[in-house]
Amino acid sequence: MSYHRARKHGPGRRDPRELWPWIAGALAVLMIMGLIGLFAVIGVIANSVSANLGWSPGRATRQEAVAGRFNEAIADGAFRFAVTGVRCGARRLGTDALGQRARGEFCLVAVTVQNIGSRAKRLDGASQTAYAADGATYPSEVGAAMYAPHGSRVLARLDPGTRVSGTLVFDVPRGTRLTSVELRESVRTRGVRIPLR
């Protein structure tokens, strides 16, 4: 003869299985509150970043860059820039063993950069932009610049007063005609727009 013994719980004690729905509900509420908090923090950070970059909710773009001239020095932040030449059409930079191939073609923009600030600084290579005749924009190719003539010079840390000449590299579709470049110390500065002709 077999029989099952009823489980006995002390006075005031519940079966642990009865608590699981409450625990799961509490965890779900905590997760939802955590996500709401996370989104609030992300919103605050995004507003702070957009304010630092000169963006506002009603405006899709940052403050317009200052107009410069080809082969004339103009300052942005701690750097003074001059664009002295442009050459497009390179399919590869470097050697066969060590180099980089363009997706389209490389445009090499010759620049002079001088640190006019009071501290050593490095130019933010990723913040430099080229503009084409059709309005398209192209970011500078920091990796490819390492294989360009004197490309790494302008991306090196510059002491106050130091002036170097080098090359910024842009990978553009074949046949693209670049009309200007926008150069800036960093994403936080206004920038200077310099025509290439």
In tens digits, what is the pLDDT along the chain, a chain of 197 residues? 555 555 555 556 666 677 777 788 888 878 877 777 666 557 656 555 544 444 444 444 567 999 999 999 999 999 999 999 999 999 999 887 888 999 999 999 999 999 999 999 998 888 999 999 999 999 999 988 888 877 778 888 999 999 999 999 999 999 999 999 999 998 889 999 999 97
Among candidate residues 6, 41, 63, the one where a domain is terminated: 63
Indicate the residue among 45, 63, 81 that finishes a domain.
63
Asked whether residue 39 falls in the same domain as residue 82, the answer is no
3-state secondary structure of 192: strand
Backbone angles phi, psi at 91, to 5 degrees: -95, -20
Identify whether residues 138 and 186 lie together within a single domain. Answer: yes
Contact by Cβ (8 Å): 189, 77: yes
Pair (146, 112) in one structural domain: yes
| Beta-carbon contacts of residue 67 (< 8 Å; ≥ 6 apart) | 192, 193
- The answer on 43 and 91 residing in a single domain is no
In a domain, 113, yes or no: yes
> Exposed e or buried b for every residue in 156-180, given b needs 16+ CB within 10 A?
eebeeeeebebbbbbbbeeebebbb
CA distance 74 to 88: 24
| Residue whose structure tokens are 């010079």 | 153
Strand ranges across the sheet with 178-183? 66-67, 192-195, 178-183, 129-132, 137-139
Is there a single domain that holds both residue 100 and residue 138? yes
Q: Is the pTM for the entire model greater than 0.75?
A: no
Q: Answer yes or no: do 54 and 71 share one domain.
A: no
Residue 108 and residue 174 share a domain? yes
What integer pLDDT is reported at residue 13 of this predicted model?
Answer: 66
Same domain flag for 80 and 25: no
Asked if residue 4 is part of any domain, the answer here is: no
The single-letter DSSP state of residue 10 is -
Tally the domains of the chain. 2
pLDDT number for residue 58? 40
Domain interval for residue 41: 16-63
Residues facing 79 on adjacent strands: 76, 115
